[in-house]
Amino acid sequence: MLMLGAAGVVYGDIGTSPIYALRETLRAATNGASVASKAEIIGSLSIIVWALTIIVTLKYALIVLRAGNQGEGGTLSLAILARKVAGRAQYIVTALGVIGAALFFGDAFITPAISVLSAVEGFVLTDPDIAGYVIPITAGILITLFAVQRFGTSKVSAVFGPVMLVWFGCLTISGLSHILDDPSVFRALDPLEAIAFALDHSTVALAVAGAAFLSVTGAEALYVDLGHFGRTPIIHTWFVLVFPALVINYLGQGAFLLSNAGFVDQPLFEMMPGWGRIPIILLATAATVIASQAVISGAFSMARQAAQLHLLPRLTIIHTSETQSGQIYLPQINWLLLLGVLSLVLGFGSSDAIAAAYGISISGQMLVTTLLLALVMRGVWRWPLALVVVVAILFAAIDAMFLTANMMKFFEGGWVSVFMSSALLTIMVVWTRGSKRLFDKTRKHEIPLTTLITSLRKNMPHQVPGTAIFMTGDQDSAPTSLMHSLKHYKVLHEQNLIMTIKTLPVPFVEDEDRLTITAVDDSFTKLTVSYGYMEDPNIPGALKELRKKGIKFDIMSTSFFLSRRMLVPASSGLLKSLMTRSFIRLTRFAADPTSFFRLPTGRVVEIGTQVVL
């Protein structure tokens, strides 16, 4: 069952690449001509087959999937794992993790656009008059896909695996039915054919490599979804089902082209019998929707991780399943993705044009993964230095080659991927730097908690029954909300908890490690609530453990005090002022702390204060 689920979620993206990968590779090899020679077909096929073998099979399936952080994968998880052994290079490792996350979001915009659009374009083969309706149909499918995200994917996911199983079965059968059309296509299995093609066609070799890279986009999903299915089911699904189906289908497409004078249009759909074209196009459309769903879900998970690690503002997180914590819906991310995807579809107008924008972000992310993996291989797994150097150089050279090849398409559309990734990276940098400035600014005006307690002992204000919880990011300083409460109300609760919420560099925190309690005196207690970066804070749920630790606690007689800061930009230089104003705007998009931390709305007191940044 896990293998079936992996087929539907993990391999949705890479599984739909036969729709366009060989087509675009041959167009690059022929400089856009509609007819490809035998050498160009076999050479292009060889590059695709060995890209699948080295990048997906050797790098990701056999090596990268071993780098689980308590079973979780993804660029941020890998960066956290590498930081443990990075020493003085921790900041560099963190920066690489942030860059990798930004590049993932850049890919998340492009995958739904090119996948769905390329499938819908297949209908033109059945009726050329449909050409004028391709864009509206694609836009309608995408709008529907993003609109239903708020209902959750649990029910839809139940059919993902079976649909993709049928899809891979069709790829295999269609490939086998044509693979003997020209047996010389088996020469593509020889890696020397790829090398010979690159040497004989040096003027287009990089362009061909950039197009062939379309066949391995989605490889990162093997690692991103590690926590959902586990290493073993993902690997078994690849070797038993996906890898054979892809190779057989690509070889079948190549043999079909060789037997039809090398005419390149839509080989995957054209090689189908007439009666089977509409069904396979419908199945391809369903498969591309599934591929898009996998990327969207991955973007939700990555955004949650980034927010928990304080790389992004707090985001509204809606759980769409009562049993699966990973099934979440983030409305801000959802509508941002839809806006970007529709802009790409309307702006480029065809899958051929969007293909130029595809590849830069994901090849850059693969290079980041290789650099971080080198640290893990040496520092965590204790591999011999010589082996680490050889493996890292091999993978880094291949990743760098594909990145260079994709960068050649920068002015043809690749700039879109760079722009989107850079925009997300800029948001992360502005948020992290702005948050640090805000923390440092507010801390200057706060007094040590011990100093306040000493002062209160000398002149104790009137005490009222109940518990007050003051939420703060710095337990050593008196919370601003506590100071203003004393100033305006001139009362103190019998029991006061100074609460700090921390995100630890682990995916999940065990219940027994959730709370850390430090008694200060009879009236004040420091309380630290810890979560992993894959968890959503649930303060009332965590506080249930207080009774077991000897603290009397009744949430219905407890008041939660929060500080709401009104940020005002100070007069400063142009660049600093621009970053400050951008940070202030980002704070307005942050989720309300009451709902984010699941606090009871009737028990929350917010006290405002103005801060000049």
**465-474 tens-digit pLDDT:** 889 999 988 8
CA contacts within 13 A on the Cβ side of 171: 25
Mean pLDDT lowest among 473-482, 509-518, 549-558: 549-558
pLDDT at 191 over 90: yes
Q: Angle at which helices 21-29 and 243-258 pack, to 10 degrees? A: 50
Residue with more model confidence, 303 or 321: 303
Q: How far, CA to CA in Å, does 153 sit from each of 299, 460, 533?
A: 14, 55, 22
According to the model, what pLDDT value does residue 323 have?
Answer: 54
Q: Which residue has the tokens 């506590």?
A: 482
Q: pLDDT (tens digit, 9 = 90+) per residue, 308-332?
A: 888 899 888 887 665 555 567 888 8
CA triplet 55, 59, 60: central angle to 5 degrees? 95
Pairing of strands 515-519, 524-532: antiparallel
Mean pLDDT of the chain: 87
Residue with more model confidence, 265 or 388: 388
pLDDT at 156 over 60: no
Q: What phi and psi, each to the nearest 5 degrees, are found at residue 415?
A: -60, -25
CA distance 361 to 367: 10
According to the model, what pLDDT value does residue 527 have?
Answer: 92
Q: pLDDT (tens digit, 9 = 90+) per residue, 377-386?
A: 999 999 999 9
Percent of the chain with pLDDT over 70: 97
- Asked whether 256 and 11 are in contact (CB, 8 A), the reply is no
According to the model, what pLDDT value does residue 158 have?
Answer: 63
DSSP string, 555-588: GGGEEEEEEEEEEEPPS--HHHHHHHHHHHHHHH
Instruction: For residue 101, give both structure tokens.
Output: 């996350």
Element (H, E) at 177: helix 154-178
Helix (H, G, I), strand (E, B) or coil at 321: coil
Mean pLDDT lowest among 124-128, 265-269, 359-363: 124-128
According to the model, what pLDDT value does residue 13 have?
Answer: 84
Residue with more model confidence, 291 or 364: 364
DSSP string, 529-547: EEEETTS---HHHHHGGGG
Q: pLDDT (tens digit, 9 = 90+) per residue, 534-585?
A: 888 889 888 888 877 778 878 888 899 998 888 888 776 677 788 888 888 8
Q: Collect all residues with Cβ–Cβ distance below 8 Å to 574 and sequence separation of at least 6.
A: none
Tell me the β-bridge partners of 525.
Answer: 497, 519
Sign of CA dihedral 310, 312, 313, 317: negative
Residue with more model confidence, 42 or 414: 42
Q: Angle at which helices 385-407 and 205-212 pack, to 10 degrees? A: 100
The pLDDT-based confidence of 179 (bands split at 50, 70, 90) is: very high
The pLDDT-based confidence of 45 (bands split at 50, 70, 90) is: very high
**If you average pLDDT over residues 250-271, what whole number do you get?**
88
According to the model, what pLDDT value does residue 216 have?
Answer: 92
According to the model, what pLDDT value does residue 237 have?
Answer: 93
According to the model, what pLDDT value does residue 555 have?
Answer: 80
Q: pLDDT (tens digit, 9 = 90+) per residue, 7-29?
A: 777 888 899 899 889 999 998 89
According to the model, what pLDDT value does residue 155 have?
Answer: 55
**Which of 293-307, 387-401, 460-474 has the highest mean predicted lDDT (pLDDT)?**
387-401
**What are the respective helix, strand and coil percentages of the chain, to the nearest 5?**
65, 10, 20
Q: If 0-12 CB within 10 Å is exposed, 13-18 middle and 19+ buried, where does residue 156 land?
A: middle
Pairing of strands 524-532, 491-504: parallel
Q: Collect all residues with Cβ–Cβ distance below 8 Å to 251 and sequence separation of at least 6.
A: 45, 49, 175, 179, 185, 186, 188
The pLDDT-based confidence of 161 (bands split at 50, 70, 90) is: confident
**Which of 78-92, 97-111, 129-143, 242-256 has the highest mean predicted lDDT (pLDDT)?**
242-256
DSSP string, 376-422: HHHHTS---HHHHHHHHHHHHHHHHHHHHHHHTTGGGTHHHHHHHHH
Percent of the chain with pLDDT over 90: 32
Tell me the β-bridge partners of 504.
Answer: 532
Contacts 24+ apart (CB under 8 A), 153-156: 153/293, 153/297, 153/320, 153/327, 154/320, 154/321, 154/324, 154/327, 156/293
CA distance 209 to 187: 18
The pLDDT-based confidence of 153 (bands split at 50, 70, 90) is: low
With b for 16 or more beta-carbon neighbours within 10 A and e for fewer, the 94-118 pattern comes to bebbbbbbbbbbbbbbbbbbbbbbb
The pLDDT-based confidence of 104 (bands split at 50, 70, 90) is: confident
Residue with more model confidence, 53 or 223: 53
CA contacts within 13 A on the Cβ side of 446: 25
**If you average pLDDT over residues 174-186, what whole number do you get?**
93
pLDDT at 511 over 70: yes
Residue with more model confidence, 4 or 336: 336
- Asked whether 214 and 24 are in contact (CB, 8 A), the reply is yes
According to the model, what pLDDT value does residue 326 have?
Answer: 59
Q: How far, CA to CA in Å, does 576 sit from each of 310, 571, 586?
A: 21, 9, 15
According to the model, what pLDDT value does residue 256 have?
Answer: 93
